[in-house]
Amino acid sequence: MKKKVLSVLMSAAMVMSALTGCGSSSSGSAANAAESKAEEKSEEKNEVTESKDTEETATEDAATEVKPVTVKFWNSFTGSDGDKLVELVNKFNDENKDGITVEMDISSNLDEQLSSAFAAGEGPALLLFSSASRFTYGDYMQSMNDIFDKTSLDKNDFIESYVDYCSEDGETYLIPFQIVSFYLYWNKDLFEAAGLDPEKGPQTWDEYVEYSKAITDASKNIYGSGLCYAYNYQMAHVIQRFGDLAVTKDDSGKWAANFEGNTGYAKFLDMYKGLVDSGDNPLTDDTDSMMTAGQLGMTINGPWLSSGMDTAGINYGITTVPTGDAGAMNSVEVLGFSVTTVATDEEKAAAYKFIEWWNTMDADGNCPALTWSLENGCPAYLKSLIENEQYQANAKVMAMTNKDTSVRSDFITSSAFPGVGQIINDVLPQITQPVLFDGKPAEDVLKDAQTLADDIVSKYN
Amino acid sequence: MKKIKKILHSADGSAYYFIFPSIILLLVFNVIPLVFSFVLSFCNANMTLDHVDFAGISNFTKAFTDSRFLNSLKVTALFAVIEVPIQTFGAMIIAAMINKNTAGNKFFRAVYFLPVICSATAIGIMWKMILHSNVGFFTYMIQMAGMGRINYFNDPKITLFVVAFISIWRSFGISAIVYVTAIQNVSSSIYEAAEIDGANKLQQFINVTVPSIRPTFWYILMTRLAGSLQIFDIVYMTTGGGPNFTTESTVTYVYTRAFSANSEMGYASAMSFVLFVMIMIITVLLYRRMNAED
């Protein structure tokens, strides 16, 4: 108990004093609404359940039996996709016959909220976050291997590499919810104006450079290429194509960083510097605004860029990021549902019901996972969805879908490396920015990056 | 115990009842967090505090060999050097110009004060759009005026000045209004006497206004200095510390270490404590200097 109190106080200390200037958590509007609704529903459902109890037989599988229960569900979908999530969660609350109420709380400061809650032995039963979060909150996540036994979900319907991404030592800690990758966007009008085929994006990085030169028109502030040094995730997705993973396991089974002497990374850095020096790529920390303003011929970004492009009325195409020297790969992050250790057996069973509902096609051929995928422009993680007619009719998500499901899914490091966030946020800026701003040779910068990365890697060996 | 009861029941002791809520708030939100933050700085701890190991002074030694932390201290000091003089002296001059209660001056006071009530997030986004290197309105106007395109947020030589400008723009109003209040409290008879002695407006400002508002000057200097050494929100919203870490302030770096992947709460607390000690020393020195002048 003393330890718990100490933890809570320390947590408060961190948030209040060490980090002055940080914003406070803002919960989603769904939380309060869900809370009051949960109370109402709980009362209604209790009555229903009482009358049903006598009719139900005791032979039902205890694991799948769900009593009226409220499931606290936390995530950080604060954008417009959050509104869709609220809508779908409300639909589940209205439709499910098991007396389950999913009480959702959307927070822009999920990490701060979680750290305080877990330290106090509280928190949500169900979480939605990046698979990489298991390296931070692994102690609070339950294995979800049994979900395929306790629900109608078919493990074989999930693309294997995505489930692997959410697993460690044979234990699955998250069930895929959204696949986040980066794609190459091109402005068809600018392609046409430059005499390029507007229906076909570049297939190789040599073509990317060539097209960039053709599109750039300095007199009109138009640039062919939109690589952005401040966008660490974009840098990671691209650099991986050139020099493969930054951290992998060596022959002895230990983590090893692969920066020094990585000719692929050096090639990318030289290419990027060349594009900036030639004026074909603006030196900017914000390429999104330029792309939506029609001033960039090409850029690489996540699916969220498309809504901005649609709103701005840009005539654009999407394709997968060109393959580089590192060969075919599917660099993705997987966001998933996770049941926490805070969840009781009843809450866990209810959370499973919700995840099952999310991934199951109803009689009308609708499925929340499909709705989410089509409305938010995210590729599917279920094989059955990829074959779905509605899905196949959506050119945007089809362009984002990696058709070869056997290709490995790793993002910048081996997916099991716990320090992936540090590599992205601490090491990558230290290789791109000194090359661009200080004019340091790529080889020297990679040597320095190796020292930094070795320090990070050593913590996990 | 009886003695305490006696004090509390006395006329003077009743004052304690009135300050009790403030003491509680001070303890809960300032003193206790400060103490625990200090304790945490001697530990290796992650975000959830479920793995807390005693680390001795290693977090402090690490801080002084961490090139990014040292760079952040340099950036923070530079930022303060740019911001504080403009805030303290610039606001004083502006305040002297708008201290009379005319309609025009009231309008300008409102205009200066407007950014103070805006959130840093809104201000950051607004300036980022106005000064965008390619699609920014101001950038475009400057270019149209034949002055070339200035890359406000991506040029290591100027970006810190741009961030400082935004920060000054944001809080300039409060300094100016405090000065206005101080200037209005200076007795008019002193100005009349100076005028009889033949002092012009500038001489009146230098020889009457400035000495009379010295306590306010010290207050502005100390609060702005402490504030600029803790700069975070504007940096976070506009540059995120870039380009090439040239605007990464200490608090921005502390936040990165505390809440990014592989959170290092202990290390972040140690760096916070180093900054706290620096601010405290500077503030105490300024305070002593102020008292010596009095």
Q: How far is B199 from chain A, CA to nearest CA, in Å? A: 46
Question: Which of B30, B31, B32, B37 has the highest number of chain A CBs within 10 A, making it the mutation to test binding with A?
Answer: B37
Residue A114 included in any domain: yes
Check CB contact of B261 with chain A, cutoff 8 Å: yes
CA distance B133 to chain A (A): 7
Q: Dihedral (C-alpha) A372, A376, A377, A381: value to the nearest 10 degrees?
A: -30
Q: Residue B246: which of A204, A369, A134, A434 has the closest Cα?
A: A434
Residue with tokens 């997030």: B121
Residues A196 and A263 in one domain: yes
A105: closest CA among A80, A77, A138? A77
Interface of A with B in 97-126 (CB under 8 A): 111-112, 114-115, 118-119
CA gap A346, B137 in Å, rounded? 56
Nearest-by-Cβ selection for A13 from B36, B128, B262: B36
Co-location of A221 and A324 in the same domain:
yes
Q: Does B54 touch chain A (CB under 8 A)?
A: no
List, run by run, the mean pLDDT of 10-residue segments along chain A (461 residues): 46 42 36 42 43 41 64 90 92 93 92 85 93 87 95 94 89 94 95 96 96 94 95 95 94 94 96 96 92 95 88 93 88 93 95 96 89 91 92 90 80 90 92 94 96 94 88
Number of domains in chain A: 2
Spatial distance between the Cα atoms of A104 and B125, rounded to a whole number of angstroms: 29
Q: How far apart are CA B110 and CA B125, in angstroms?
A: 22
Classify residue A91: in a domain, yes or no: yes
The predicted pLDDT at position A18 comes to 39
Using CB atoms, which residue from B30, B134, B256 is nearest to A284? Answer: B134
Candidate from B29, B261, B269 with C-beta closest to A425: B261
> Which residues in chain A have Cβ-Cβ distances shorter than 8 Å to B66?
none
Query: What tokens does B62 get?
Result: 């690490």
Put simply, the answer to whether A139 touches B34 (Cβ < 8 Å) is: no
Residues A244 and A262 in one domain: yes
* Residues A197 and A116 both lie in one domain: no
In-domain check, residue A200: yes
* Residue A173 sits in the same domain as residue A187: no
Compare all CA atoms of chain B with the CA of A293 and give the residue at the minimum distance.
Answer: B135
CB contacts of B264 in chain A (<8 Å) are none
**8-state DSSP, B131:** T
Find the domain containing A129 and state its range.
69-180+333-400
Minimal CA separation from B23 to chain A, in Å? 17
Residue A314's identity, in one-letter code, is I
Name residues of chain B where pLDDT drops below 50: none
The answer to the question of residue A137 being in a domain is yes
What's the pLDDT score for residue A36? 44
Determine the straight-line distance between the first and last CA of chain A, rounded to whole angstroms.
33
> Which residues numbered 138-177 in B keep a CB inside 8 Å of some CB on A?
151, 153-154, 156
pLDDT at A274: 97
Mutate to test the interface with B, among A7, A14, A229 (most CBs of B within 10 A): A14
Q: Is B113 exposed, middle or buried (0-12, 13-18, 19+ CB in 10 A)?
A: middle
Q: Determine whether the interchain pair A111/B47 forms a contact, defined as Cβ–Cβ distance below 8 Å.
A: yes
Task: Please indicate, yes or no, if residue A438 is contained in any of the structural domains.
Answer: yes
CA dihedral B153, B157, B162, B163 (to 10 degrees): 80
DSSP summary character for residue B57: T
pLDDT at residue A64, rounded to an integer:
53
Q: A437 contacts in B (CB within 8 Å)?
A: 156, 243-244
| Same structural domain, A224 and A288 | yes
Q: ipTM higher than 0.90?
A: no
CATH number for the domain harbouring residue A229: 3.40.190.10
A450 shares its domain with A339 = no
Query: Residues A176, A187: one domain?
Result: no
Domain membership of residue A311 (yes or no) is: yes
Q: Is residue A55 situated within a structural domain?
A: no
Same domain, A363 and A321: no
Contacts with B, A 419-458, CB within 8 Å: 419-422, 424-426, 429, 433-434, 436-438, 456
Chain B residues touching A114 at Cβ < 8 A:
47-48
A361 plus A395 within the same structural domain: yes
In chain B, the residue whose alpha carbon lies closest to the alpha carbon of A284 is B154
Q: Peptide bond preceding B21: is omega within 30 degrees of 0, i.e. cis? A: no
Listed residues A400, A419, A447: the one ending a domain:
A400
What 3-state DSSP class applies to B43? strand
How many angstroms separate the CA atoms of B23 and B7, rounded? Answer: 17
pLDDT at B165: 95
Separation CA A356–CA A350 (nearest Å): 10
Closest CA to A227 of A266, A284, A188: A284
Angle at CA B163, nearest 5°, toward A225 and A312? Answer: 40
- One domain for residues A217 and A254: yes
In this structure, the answer to whether residues A337 and A320 fall within a common structural domain is: no
- Whether A7 contacts A120, CB under 8 Å: yes
- CA torsion A110→A113→A114→A116, rounded to 10°? 160
Q: Which of A8, A15, A20 to mutate to test the interface with B (most CBs of B within 10 A)?
A: A20
Q: Which of A385, A400, A415 is the last residue of a domain?
A: A400
Q: With respect to residue A290, please indicate whether it lies within any of the assigned structural domains.
A: yes
CB contact under 8 A, B32 and A9: yes
Sign of the torsion formed by the C-alpha atoms of B246, B247, B250 and B253 = negative
Distance from CA of B2 to the nearest CA of A (A): 32
